Amino acid sequence: LFGVVFSAARDGLTGVLENFAAKGWGAQALWNSYPEMVKGYWIAFALFLAGAALVALLAKRRLPLVWWAAILAGLVFLELWRVDTRFLRLVDPPARYFAKDEIVSALERDTTLHRVWPLQVHQSGNYLTLFGIQTVGGEHPSPLKRYCEFVGISPKRVLPDFHNLIQSPQFLRLLGVQYLLTQGPVEHPDFVLHDSCYGGRVRIYRNTRALPRVWLAGAYEVIEKDAQILARMQRPDFDPARTVILERPVGEFAPHPQAAGTARITRYTPNEVTVAVDASAPALLVMSDNHFPAWRALVDGAPAECLRADYTFRAVAVPAGTHTVEFRYRSGVFRTGRMISLCALLLTVAGIAALAVRELIAG
């Protein structure tokens, strides 16, 4: 009945349905899909007739039960196949779908630890991270609140705007953003054209003032309020290479303003980082990775305080001389959850074993 009605009264029915559809592309999509709707009704009608015929044949016993079951199974298979095959989409294998493009090939020439800001290219998704290229964007289901505030992601916006990175090159410098990916020219003294891809349609600019992932600073300022920290870092007289902003004093430790030296990462993993430090005077080792309470710091194997620096990064006080600094992620919540899961597993196994023994004894 629906097939006959929809076939005969196409113009009138589409006019009625358009009143319930979205304007513009919604109405056009409805019109384009109308033939498929009619075909679907006719197929449903044909399956209904076939099912009714099978029921009649079974009731009159004119068809062996085996044949009846086989035909019914075939009809069910055809109906399910018609619907479910649409959920099995054939796409290119990951190796081809996520193949390395010209941008990745150009960025991989720099083997140092750095970050990239895909301002106008590869903005969404985590494509670059597949090749070990760290970015300031990407997608994460639960990003750290302080990092979002640092880069300028407003919680009131659906799409991130990174307004702090756009308005102040100081934030890009602190993050160690070495390269900027754009589709247009960048006119700023800190950025020089490094490479181009796809016939010049994509440009890679290098940040000449980007800080390394770790460095030594000889001075610090104490600012307790978050808004004041971000405002201070935007001022042109703030030099993040020399001064660190902390939220409380470091106790008796006093870094030397003229402290110099080197800091070099010797091991870098998601949960552990090792840094070789050679300082001419007491200084603060700063690492532009996110701070979190679960991070622990060690200096030459001895526990040290892991400070929150420059709003969202890590810092640790180091004395003069050569030292090995380690950052280790040790989550007490994770350990507690792991212990609870292990106990639950042991109790489950013990319960199953007890039931099995009782059944054996009863038998």
Taking only the tens place, the pLDDT of each residue in 10-37 is 555 555 555 544 444 455 566 666 677 7
Say what percent of the chain tops pLDDT 70: 87
Average pLDDT, the chain: 86
Which tens digit of pLDDT belongs to each residue from 55-80?
A: 888 888 787 888 888 888 888 888 88
Other C-beta atoms lying within 10 Å of the C-beta of residue 202: 20
Kindly state the helix (H) or strand (E) to which residue 342 belongs, with its residue range.
helix 332-362
Q: Which of 5-9, 124-128, 254-258 has the lowest mean pLDDT?
A: 5-9
Tell me the two tokens of residue 88: 């099995």
Half-sphere exposure of 170 (CA within 13 A, CB side): 21
Q: What pLDDT does 2 receive?
A: 52
What is the rounded (10 degree) CA torsion for 164, 168, 172, 174?
Answer: -100
Say yes or no to pLDDT of 278 above 60. Answer: yes
Query: For 154, left (φ over 0), alpha (ψ -120 to 50), or beta?
Result: beta
